[in-house]
Amino acid sequence: MTAVFPSLSTRALDAVEEMDRPDADLLRLERTYAQFWLINAVVSGWRRNYVRYLRPLFRQDGGGTLLDVGSGGGDVPRCIARWSRRDGLAVEITAIDPDPRAHAFASSRPPIPGLTFRRAFSGDLVAEGRSYDAVISNHMLHHLAPKELRGLLADSELLGRKLCLHSDIQRSRWAYALFSVGTLPFFPGSFIRADGLTSIRRSYTASELAAVTPPGWQGRQQKPWQNLLLYRPPVPARTPTGQFDAG
């Protein structure tokens, strides 16, 4: 029983996902990227996030720009690109990942208008002076060391003009148990099941994430077992002369 249900009282910071290893089997890794769309469709909630947060934002101007940080195999930005085009919105999406294997896989898929993949860190884009209407990430926060998490959120504040939205897994025994059982007969030849369980062990509870989140960010819990970090840059107040006062 211990092997099936490890202790989830604290984050398993020493646990390493197989796909993050530099010597990971390339065939299994590519199968993992190819199968991410199904896992994300079931558990990540990006259709809900698009409808609630992104679509209203882009409808203000009929479109806009979006940055997806740590895009992996690219299924989430591909979905957002398709949804936005279906809604008649001209959204330009940049999806970045520093891993050359992820970038190669995402770039090899059929192109979608308005979607560009880059091999880069968020800090590279900050150094280039770039900015976007919205900045997002999916299931990435638990991969980061504390210093890297602080860096990502700081970069996001600089890159996101209107909205930052980082969604991640929430650690719980129910999430672990159901993912373990639900994926057991599926995803042969990939890292989906083993790495998914490791991801849950590495992920934050809502209170843990709140404790390491800087001021200005809002933490929200979503079903099933998702943490959502949301940041909207403060709007400068107008002075009596009509000028903006940045404080």
Tell me the β-bridge partners of 63.
90
Reduced to 3 DSSP states, what percent helix, strand and coil does the chain have, rounded to the nearest 5? 45, 20, 35
Residue-level pLDDT at 2: 40
- On the question of pLDDT at 244 being above 50, the answer is no
- Reference 143, options 196, 193, 65, 106; nearest CA is 196
pLDDT by residue (tens digit) across 100-156? Answer: 999 999 999 999 999 999 999 999 999 999 999 999 999 999 999 889 999 999 999
Condensed to tens digits (0 to 9), the pLDDT of residues 18-52 reads 999 999 999 999 999 998 888 888 778 899 999 99
Q: Is the pLDDT of residue 160 over 90?
A: yes
Q: Which two three-digit tokens encode residue 94?
A: 């940049």
pLDDT tens-digit map of 167-187:
999 999 988 898 888 887 788
pLDDT value, residue 175: 87
Which residue shows structure tokens 């192109």?
111
Q: What pLDDT does residue 130 have? A: 97
Whether the Cβ atoms of residue 2 and residue 170 lie closer than 8 Å to each other:
no
Task: List CB contacts of 65: < 8 A, sequence separation 6 or more.
Answer: 91, 92, 93, 94, 132, 133, 134
pLDDT at 11 over 50: yes
Q: What is the mean pLDDT of the segment spanning 4-27? A: 89
For the question of whether the overall pTM of this predicted structure is more than 0.85, the answer is: yes
Give the separation between CA 71 and CA 152, rounded to whole angstroms: 14
Token representation of residue 29: 């890794």
- SS3 assignment, position 163: strand
Query: Is-contact 8 172, C-beta < 8 A?
Result: yes
Interval 211-242: pLDDT, tens: 999 999 999 988 778 999 999 998 765 555 54
Contact 105, 30 (CB under 8 A): yes
| Domain ranges (residues) in the chain | 43-170+204-232
Domain boundaries 43-170+204-232, corresponding CATH code: 3.40.50.150
Residue 4's pLDDT band (boundaries 50, 70, 90)?
low
- pLDDT score for 134: 98
Between residues 97 and 186, the one the model is more confident about: 97
Specify the pLDDT at position 45: 86
According to the model, what pLDDT value does residue 3 have? Answer: 46
